[in-house]
Structure formats: C-alpha cells, structure tokens
Amino acid sequence: MDMLEDTAGCACLNLRGAARAVTQYYDEILKPSGLKATQFSVLAAVAEEGPASMTVISNALVMDRTTLTRNLKPLMDKGLVKESKSKEDLRQRHISLTGQGKAALTKALPLWNQAQNQVIRGIGHARWQGMLRLLDEAVCLSKTS
C-alpha cells in the first residue's frame, strides 16, 4: 500500500520500539534485584518526589495517573511503597517509600548504574546528551498540544 510507505519513519513507532528494547536491556541487568526497569523508575520517582501526591509522581514520570496506579499496585503488594491521606486534603493520597522500598532501591541502584553506563558508552556521551535534549523536546511537544 503506497499510503503506508512512510510509516517506517513514524516517530511513535520508533520511539516505542527503542523504549521497549532499552527496557528489556535494563530488565535483564536489574533481574538480580527483583525489580523491573519500570518498577525501579517508579521507586526512584517516589524516593525523589515523595512523600508526594499521585499527580506529582505521575508528572515526574510523564505517566497518566491510571498507569501510575497500575504500576504502584505490585510495589504496594510487596511492601515497597505505601500510601497515606494528605493532612491538608483528605481526598488526596500521598505515596512514599517504606524501609523495604529504600532497601530494594539501594540494592538495585548499582545494577541500574551498570545498565545506564553501558547504554551511554554504547551511544557515546555527547550523542547521549543530544538525545536527552531531543527526548525532552518530544515530551514538551505533548504538553503544548
């Protein structure tokens, strides 16, 4: 079909494919920690932002609240994060790391560093810095539409 010949250059298709490949790579290296790359990312965001509202954490992860809720459930079931009601607004939930969550993040961090360093080495530091800028621009595009 002629109308589909340009889809090979589709930004969405290519970014999602690259994200899946990189996620699989990180998952493999993180395996000894018992965490997947997505779980590590959520724990790191909660550690950085928390205790924080679902909105603050979902914004930090560029993730909608429904997806964040789905990603938090297994972490809550494992006792790695907990939720509590906001003192200012009882309708709002705050998410924070538990002691177990801090320990899991501490255990996973050296493995994450290994994966991160290998990816940057493979791409090249200068190209990685450029890529970060481009990815940030792509994220900003979605906020302006």
The CATH code for residues 24-144 is: 1.10.10.10
pLDDT digits 0-9 by tens, 107-121: 999 999 999 999 999
pLDDT digits 0-9 by tens, 82-94: 998 867 777 778 9
CA dist., res. 67 & res. 58, Å (int):
8
- The neighbour count for residue 130, using CB atoms within 10 Å, is 12
Only one residue has tokens 């924070």, namely 96
Do 37 and 27 form a contact (C-beta atoms < 8 A)?
Answer: yes
Using CA atoms, how far residue 137 sits from 132, 140, 144, in Å, is 9, 5, 11
3-state secondary structure of 98: coil
Question: Angle at Cα 28 formed by Cα 135 and Cα 75, nearest 5°?
Answer: 80
Q: Give the residues across from 83 on adjacent strands.
A: 95
Listing DSSP states for 34-91 in one string gives T--HHHHHHHHHHHHH-SEEHHHHHHHHT--HHHHHHHHHHHHHTTSEEEEE-SS-TT
Among 15-19, 37-41, 84-88, 99-103, the least confident range: 84-88
Is the pTM higher than 0.85?
yes
Query: Could you state, in order of their start, the residue ranges of all structural domains in the chain?
Result: 24-144
Is the pLDDT higher at 132 or at 5? Answer: 132
Question: Residue range 56-84: average pLDDT?
Answer: 95
- The neighbour count for residue 75, using CB atoms within 10 Å, is 23
